[in-house]
């Protein structure tokens, strides 16, 4: 029975091309699962959110007894969203200038998923160097950059 998992996430976007990629590394007592994807015409924040959302959905669909997810992300934007949930929800995801917040669709999905399971976010330092211990944030960062390089090689500008 798996009731707790850790998810290390990272997202990346090439601003000139709009090519993006995301990675989620899910760790449980039962092992490690690596998820990844790539998207065109996207942003960095959408890729960071995609990594988190896809990791949560995978954990919920594959670990039926899951109760707690510890999410490690290097994105202040993503890790700060749960603290802003009350304010954003009560403003109907509208800014003080009267426009809908960026990425409202994904933010709302994150909040829906978070209502079903306890999410604990930890902000980690981006682009760390590998030390003596295994650091899955570094693994996620390396993998997302590899996917981006591969996707960019396929494209012509």
Residue ranges of the domains in the chain? Answer: 4-147
| pLDDT at site 128 | 60
Read off the tokens for 129. 């160097």
Q: What confidence tier does 135 reach under pLDDT thresholds 50, 70, 90?
A: confident
Question: In whole angstroms, how far apart are CA 101 and each of 44, 51, 149?
Answer: 15, 20, 30
Distance CA 98, CA 22 (A): 30
CA angle (35 as vertex; 33, 38 as ends), nearest 5? 170
117-143 mean pLDDT: 81
Q: What is the pTM of this model?
A: 0.93
Please choose, from the candidates 141, 137, 138, 144, the residue with its C-alpha nearest in 3D space to the C-alpha of residue 122: 137
| pLDDT at site 89 | 97
List all residues 6 or more positions away from 86 whose beta carbon is below 8 Å from its beta carbon. Answer: none
| pLDDT at site 1 | 79
> Does position 111 have pLDDT exceeding 70, yes or no?
yes
Q: What confidence tier does 129 reach under pLDDT thresholds 50, 70, 90?
A: low
Q: What confidence tier does 126 reach under pLDDT thresholds 50, 70, 90?
A: confident
Q: What is the pLDDT of residues 27-77, one digit of tens each?
A: 999 899 999 999 999 999 999 999 999 999 999 999 999 999 999 999 999
Sign of the dihedral through C-alpha 106, 112, 115, 116: negative
β-pairing, 19-28 vs 31-39, is: antiparallel
> Does position 132 have pLDDT exceeding 50, yes or no?
no
List all residues 6 or more positions away from 122 whose beta carbon is below 8 Å from its beta carbon. Answer: 70, 71, 72, 73, 79
Question: In whole angstroms, how far apart are CA 153 and each of 39, 142, 149, 157?
Answer: 14, 17, 6, 10
Query: Tokens 């709302």, residue?
Result: 108
Q: Which CATH architecture has domain 4-147?
A: 2-Layer Sandwich (3.30)
Read off the tokens for 67. 């109760």
């Amino acid at each position: 029975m798996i009731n707790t998992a850790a998810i290390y996430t990272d997202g990346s976007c090439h601003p000139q091309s709009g090519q993006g990629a995301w990675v989620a590394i899910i760790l449980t007592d039962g092992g490690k699962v690596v998820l990844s994807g790539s998207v065109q015409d996207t942003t960095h924040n959408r890729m960071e959110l995609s990594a988190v959302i896809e990791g949560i959905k995978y954990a919920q669909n594959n670990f039926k007894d899951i109760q707690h997810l510890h999410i490690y992300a290097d994105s202040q934007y993503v890790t700060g969203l749960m603290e802003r949930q009350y304010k954003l929800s009560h403003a109907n995801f509208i800014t003080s200038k009267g426009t809908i917040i960026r990425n409202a669709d994904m933010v709302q999905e994150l909040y829906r998923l978070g209502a079903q399971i306890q999410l604990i976010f930890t902000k980690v330092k981006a682009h760390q160097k590998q030390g003596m211990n295994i650091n899955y944030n570094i693994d996620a960062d390396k993998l997302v950059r590899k996917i981006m390089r591969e996707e960019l090689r396929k494209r012509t500008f």
